[in-house]
Amino acid sequence: MAADHVAINFRSGFNNFVCNVFFVFCLVKPERTHLSVDTDITNPVKFDSSVKFNCTADSRPDVDEYRFYRDESLLGSNNTGIYHLQIQRSGYYSCVAVNSAGSGEKATLYIDVKGKTFVIDFP
């Protein structure tokens, strides 16, 4: 938390006034993080489908960076909260908002992917 103190001295007629004004700036980590997608994920998503993620959070000061993850692995980050991805794996997709006060809450969605199966034969 940072605080500034400003003392204002002025003269009005025959009276002297001294005003003390305190400004308190509270830094708050992002809260109420929300992650949404532009695709219906109540059913499995087709392999290699394009999905747009939208991450939002309440923050003071504003969010500096949004980080996007799949199963705890960082996919990328930006300052817009919008992330486009060709979905090729089922998993937990999440975002975290970050500002100068720290990292906020994580928001997570599970996306099930159907199609394209890989078979590996061992000799």
At 77-116, the pLDDT tens digits run 999 999 999 999 999 999 999 999 999 999 999 999 998 7
* Domain range summary for the chain, segments of one domain joined by +: 29-114
pTM greater than 0.85: no
**CA separation, residue 63 to residues 67, 91, 102, 108 (Å):** 11, 26, 10, 18
Question: Which CATH architecture best describes the domain 29-114?
Answer: Sandwich (2.60)
Q: How is residue 1 annotated by DSSP?
A: -
Q: Is the pLDDT of residue 14 over 60?
A: no
- pLDDT in the model for residue 3: 46
Q: Is the pLDDT of residue 17 over 80?
A: no
- The pLDDT tens digits of the residues spanning 26-60 come to 889 999 999 999 999 999 999 999 999 999 999 98
- pLDDT in the model for residue 1: 43
Quickly tell me which residue has 């979905």 as its tokens. Answer: 87
- The pLDDT tens digits of the residues spanning 62-88 come to 999 999 999 999 999 999 999 999 999
Sign of the Cα pseudo-torsion (69, 52, 92, 55, in order):
positive
DSSP string of 43-103, one letter each residue: SPEETTEEEEEEEEEEEES---EEEEEETTEEEEEESSSEEEEEE-S-EEEEEEEEETTEE
Quickly tell me which residue has 């990292």 as its tokens. Answer: 103
